[in-house]
A and B are shown apart, each in its own frame.
Chain A
Amino acid sequence: MLTTLFALLYYVAFAIFVGGVAYRIWEYWNTPKPANIPTTPAPTTRLGVAWRMFKEVLFFESLWKGNKWIWIFAQLFHASLWLIIIRHARYFLDPVPTIVVLAQPFGKYAGLTFVLGALGLLARRMFVPRVRYISAPSDYLMLLLFIGIGFSGLMMTFVNHTDIVAVKAFFLGLMTFNWQPLPSTLPLLVHLGLVAIWMIIFPFSKLLHAPGIFFSPTRNMPDNPREKFQPVPWLPPVDQVEYDPPHGS
């Protein structure tokens, strides 16, 4: 019963996540960028843009300029998330790749820094009046969701161990449509339930910032409007326009 429920939940969640994010990316991709609007000074070449995006995506360069506290908590949160994701690959891959094995000891503690980062962001949201003003209930819930995921995960890692061999069998079974029983311990069910919610809301929420940043015109456009003619797609070409008549003098 429980196994069936979670198996179906994960099929649905995965479909919404992958389909939804792909649809958003398709939408962004197909929406025109009618003008060359990088925030300058900006690199003038595609290679320069790649370097700018690299610094932005991994090191949050702009945020560093903007606010050091947010930067610290955001880096704690996101860098930990990377490690956690790499570590979790062991539950979906057989045999386990070396990089995942290497990440394992760090990945375990990354759970702590992940929760710490989320708590820091939550504290700012609650106690900094400017940030409180711009926060909707969903902004708090999103952080609580992450804290819940992190906390339930930490419970399994450090307090109440789960039969991870069975968990892995469950996920490999999902992928091969050969369902295996899911261990029914509370932290695991909470953990998996929250992760499924996270996947479902991803394409409908601000979590879209993750794929979205790659499409941001102020960051991903090379600064070359004089060098390269980039016409506005929905305006008629310039040889089909009428000019204002000259003024009587």
Chain B
Amino acid sequence: MSELEKNPEAAAEELPPEALEDPLYFDPEPKEGASAHIRSFPAAPEFMEPLGYPGERPENWKEVALNKMKDLRGKFRSFRLFLDICVKCGACTDKCHYYMGTADPRNMPVGRQDLLRSVYRRYFTLPGKWFPSLVGARDLTEEVLDEWYTYYFQCSECRRCSVYCPYGIDTAEITMAAREILDSVGYGMKYTNEIITKVFKVGNNLGLPKPALESTLEDLEEEIEDDTGVKVRLPLDEPADILLVTPSADFFAEPHIDGLIGYAKVFHATGAKWTLSSYASEAANFAMFIGSYENMRRIALRIRKAAIDLGVKRIIIGECGHAWRAAYQFLNTLAGPFDFLDPNYPVPQHICEYTWDAIQKGQLKFDKSQNDWIKLTFHDSCNVARASRMGDYPGGQFDIPRNILKAVCNHYYDMPEGTIKEETLCCGGGGGLLTDDLMELRKKGGSPRMKALKQVAEEYGVNKMAAICAICKTQFSKIMPEFGFGMDDIMSVHQLVSNAIILPGSEQEKELMEQEEKEEAADAAE
């Protein structure tokens, strides 16, 4: 147990005042081992073997691990190059939200990389073979393996460090490789690997089979009809033009499900023929988190097969950060080419690209006053910000969600510079860390974002934060109460769209028309 846990108040008193206010505050004195006790549960054999990994640690694990390292070094230029060229300048050392939150130097990006780089140097470089202590090289031992497991599952692969590195070294690439090496010796993580197993067996992370999906979607259709008087469909496995692939949390969790209602309303208002698929009922791809291209491809191929089977022309991805990265940077690469789809649209497209396009074409009508009780800010999700794009120009991934929010909400405020857009702070639960066994880490890693939110809450009275990521939404609804916010202060972007949208023929449209007539009459009377 760390000092902080034993006596949190005493520890808090020692911190300077800015530590509680400045979102980018970091402890200038690293505290070695401060987060060494935070360890996720390792995976049982039943969640290793379906992914092609050994269930138990093999006798010759060291040889296997080093062979894997050699294999990855030949397959990934990023891995080989990044291990070679770091000059230890220190620019990244204060940039990781887990370092800001824990002060553990192994959570400094370079500190995390060095856990593996030290072993790489020992076995793969001349100086490391000849003068290990001179260049910080060390043998691969069981302790080192445990250390890898601990700290490579304290990285959310958010790429914030890579923004500031003079060589663009991306710790996410090292973390992915390390996790792949750990998996190859039967040392996988329960949360990520159990979820991937569920996708293989049932089709989605939550393990919702088709009947459960069907009844959920029917319930949502009823709910929308009760609310608007309009019959909005949420089709499943129907022939259509558009295949929507969305994180399965959208079928189940709050506020995700309100986002799904928002997509359905947008599709309805634009007259689109769309469908969900029970086979590809998951946009998330947790195989990306563990750096396994083989498993990542297996999941990506589901989307390809669903698109072929349903005869669609376009693929659209729902609100999810890493899923958008998996789709944007990897879908075409792993499961393409998609030459059977309509070439007039990019493959894949983000739901925000679709909605913003419809707004620009004037296809959607909004009553922004429905969101007048909200003072809103937007959390840029790490994978959307630093590993993808929306629209046709760099940075569209920042503008398009904000454009949508400003089109449906009158009061919008950005969080401080240095915490948004390409410099955005991770929610603290990304990269496969969204599990209860890592709750302490999630709170600490989320604290910089929470401090940034607190600033705009105090300055502008911001009371809601929107996000386009299923992991961010779940993470925030869990940690926000710890920081003095409500668990429902995190919203889906399409939830705000859903609040404000006026569907043709709806109760809201009637009300609005009556109101407008009244106003006109009043104007005429004057």
Whether a CB of chain B sits under 8 angstroms from the CB of A139 is yes
> Which of A111-119, A180-188, A239-247 has 4 or more CB atoms under 8 Å from chain B?
A239-247
How distant is A212 from chain B, measured CB to nearest CB, in Å?
4
Centre residue among A74, A134, A138 by max chain B CB count within 10 A: A134
Which single residue of chain B is at the shortest CB-CB distance from A142?
B87
By the criterion CB–CB under 8 Å, are A213 and B301 in contact?
no
By the criterion CB–CB under 8 Å, are B168 and A206 in contact?
no
Assuming A33-B77, A130-B94, is B201 touching A39 (CB within 8 A)? Answer: no
Whether a CB of chain A sits under 8 angstroms from the CB of B363 is no
Contact mask B153-186 → A, CB, 8 Å, 1/0? 0000001001111111110010000000000000
Whether a CB of chain A sits under 8 angstroms from the CB of B361 is no
Assuming A62-B168, A226-B348, is B394 touching A42 (CB within 8 A)? Answer: yes
Contact mask A56-72 → B, CB, 8 Å, 1/0? 10001011011100100
By the criterion CB–CB under 8 Å, are B28 and A129 in contact?
yes
Contact mask A186-225 → B, CB, 8 Å, 1/0? 0000000000000001001110110011011111000101
CA distance A36 to B387 in the complex (A): 9
Give the chain A neighbours of B337 by CB distance below 8 A.
229, 238
Which single residue of chain A is at the shortest CB-CB distance from B418?
A65
Whether a CB of chain A sits under 8 angstroms from the CB of B319 is no
CA distance A137 to B132 in the complex (A): 10
Partner of B164, one of A62, A135, A235, A246: A62
Whether a CB of chain A sits under 8 angstroms from the CB of B328 is yes
Whether a CB of chain B sits under 8 angstroms from the CB of A158 is no
How distant is A91 from chain B, measured CB to nearest CB, in Å?
28
By the criterion CB–CB under 8 Å, are B168 and A218 in contact?
yes
By the criterion CB–CB under 8 Å, are A131 and B88 in contact?
yes
The interface size of chain B toward A, counting residues with CB under 8 Å, comes to 90
* Interface residue tally on A, bucketed by range: 35 or more
By the criterion CB–CB under 8 Å, are B173 and A37 in contact?
yes
Contact mask B21-33 → A, CB, 8 Å, 1/0? 0000000111010
Whether a CB of chain B sits under 8 angstroms from the CB of A124 is yes
CA distance A136 to B90 in the complex (A): 13
By the criterion CB–CB under 8 Å, are A232 and B90 in contact?
no
How distant is A244 from chain B, measured CB to nearest CB, in Å?
6
Whether a CB of chain A sits under 8 angstroms from the CB of B347 is yes
Which single residue of chain A is at the shortest CB-CB distance from B329?
A225
Partner of B114, one of A134, A201, A206: A134
A56-B168, A244-B200 given; name 13 further pairs at CB < 8 Å. Answer: A31-B74, A32-B75, A40-B385, A40-B394, A62-B166, A63-B164, A66-B95, A129-B28, A130-B93, A136-B135, A231-B336, A238-B337, A249-B209
Residues on B lying within 8 angstroms of A by beta carbon are 28-30, 32, 73-78, 80-82, 84-95, 105, 108, 110-111, 114, 125-127, 133-136, 159, 162-170, 173, 200-203, 209-211, 278-279, 293-294, 297-298, 301-302, 304-305, 328-330, 332-337, 346-348, 385-389, 392-395, 397-398, 422-423
Query: 7 shortest A-B CB distances, which residue pairs?
Result: A66-B164, A136-B136, A66-B91, A41-B394, A218-B168, A212-B85, A131-B90
